[in-house]
Amino acid sequence: MTDFQFSKAYPSQYLRCPDLNGKECTLTVKSWRYINTKKDLGDDGRPMKGIVLAFNETPKEYVSGVTVFRQIQQVLGFDPNTWIDKTITFYPTTCRFGKDANHPCIRVKTS
């Protein structure tokens, strides 16, 4: 029997909670950029907000909203330019998203 991989069934260029397969994941920041509201669209087709992080270990990018941005700042400092070549440990969890109190999401370990 084949192991199920969410990202194969529902591909995306962005790192999402199911991509972590229930495990922590440490990645090295390669670069960051501001969201391009014409190019960076969510799975629902709407423009996203935040910054986009690229990593050395994966071609997938991560769109960081304000909550995760602040968590990364706690770990790596205020300026994203100083995050390059530093590592971030992501973990899967749930959060409130609209009316969904248990929406799968990614957070950053801050300690």
pLDDT digits (tens, 9 = 90+) for 33-52: 998 877 777 767 788 888 99
State how far the Cα of 82 lies from the Cα of 62, in Å rounded to an integer. 17
Residues 6 or more apart in contact with residue 110 via CB below 8 angstroms: 71, 74, 75
Region 81-95 average pLDDT: 96
Lowest-confidence region among 24-28, 44-48, 83-87, 104-108: 44-48
94 — pLDDT class (breaks 50, 70, 90): very high
- Chain centroid to CA 50: how far? 11
Alpha-helix runs per DSSP H in 4-65: 6-9
Model pLDDT, residue 57: 97
Q: Which helix (H) or strand (E) holds 73?
A: helix 66-76
1 — pLDDT class (breaks 50, 70, 90): confident
CB 106 within 8 Å of CB 18: no
